[in-house]
């Protein structure tokens, strides 16, 4: 008889549940053009994402940009991206079916992301409705990933135990987050990082399709 080995799944958002790379690239390049800076390629943005939009913009602007100008650039990006973050963003194939399946199995689910809280809440609502129980983004009082703060908060809200939680992500930040939180980590191969890089960073458990996550939930 199959029994649940884990009863809780915490997902990263960008590159794991949602394909957001083109909207992020468009937002960065709009902002670069406003300030007369060189634009960035989609592959550069792919490497920059994962640590929040503050670090994304810090890496995207030229090195000579001082803190005052950086804050102006960041503000412009936030404003533009908020209004344009849904233009090309969509769930990866099979993701919606997976989270519906997990819901039907009684698996508790959460999102923990370094994207700002407002965007995480809105994207979770728009694409996943009430299927995802908790959606936590970057907000005051919590250190962003790879610190385990938000993961611990999600576990607390869900009433789960660390030993029963799987954290699913697509980057080296997610590997470190799971390690720092002391929980199981599964990595997707369809996200923003190359599998070889993730292996070098200590990644061990991989899935190539969303439905393959189920093998980790049953024993």
* Fold held by 8-19+90-217: Rossmann fold (3.40.50)
pLDDT tens digit string along 137-196? 998 888 999 999 999 999 999 999 999 999 999 999 999 999 999 999 999 999 999 999
This prediction has a pTM of: 0.92
Q: Which of 181, 190, 23 is nearest to 98 (CA)?
A: 190
Mean pLDDT of 5-18: 96
H helices of 13-116, in order, are 21-34, 42-48, 53-60, 67-84, 95-104
Q: What mean pLDDT, rounded, does the chain reach?
A: 94
Q: Where in the chain is the domain with CATH 1.10.150.240?
A: 21-84
Asked whether the predicted pLDDT for residue 81 surpasses 80, the reply is yes
- In the chain, list all ranges with CATH 3.40.50.1000: 8-19+90-217
| Contact predicate 171/15, CB 8 Å | yes
The per-residue pLDDT for 218 is: 74
What are the pLDDT digits (tens) for 20-73? 999 999 999 999 999 999 999 999 999 999 888 999 999 999 999 999 999 999
pLDDT value of position 10: 98
- Write out pLDDT tens, residues 111-142: 999 998 988 998 999 999 999 989 999 988 88
Q: What fold, for 21-84?
A: DNA polymerase; domain 1 (1.10.150)
What separation in angstroms does the CA of 205 have from each of 44, 134, 147? 26, 24, 21
């Amino acid at each position: 008889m199959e029994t649940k080995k884990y009863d809780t799944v915490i997902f990263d958002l960008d590159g794991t549940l949602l394909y957001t790379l083109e909207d992020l690239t468009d937002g960065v390049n709009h902002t670069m053009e406003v300030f007369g800076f060189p634009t960035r390629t989609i592959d550069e943005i792919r490497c920059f994402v994962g640590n929040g939009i503050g670090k994304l913009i810090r890496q995207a602007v030229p090195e000579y940009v001082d803190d005052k100008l950086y804050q102006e650039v960041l503000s412009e990006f936030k404003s533009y991206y908020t209004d344009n973050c849904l233009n090309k963003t969509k769930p990866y194939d099979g993701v919606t079916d997976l989270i519906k399946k997990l819901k039907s199995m009684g698996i508790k689910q959460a999102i923990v992301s370094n994207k700002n809280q407002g965007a995480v809440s809105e994207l979770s609502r728009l694409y996943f409705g009430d299927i995802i129980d908790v959606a936590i983004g970057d907000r005051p009082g919590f250190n962003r990933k790879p610190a385990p703060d938000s993961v611990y908060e999600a576990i607390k809200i869900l009433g789960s135990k660390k030993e029963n939680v799987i954290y699913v992500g697509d980057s080296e930040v997610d590997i470190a987050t799971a390690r720092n939180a002391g929980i199981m980590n599964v990595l997707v191969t369809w996200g923003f990082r190359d599998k070889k890089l993730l292996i070098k960073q200590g990644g061990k458990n991989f899935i190539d399709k969303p439905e393959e996550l189920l093998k980790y939930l049953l024993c």
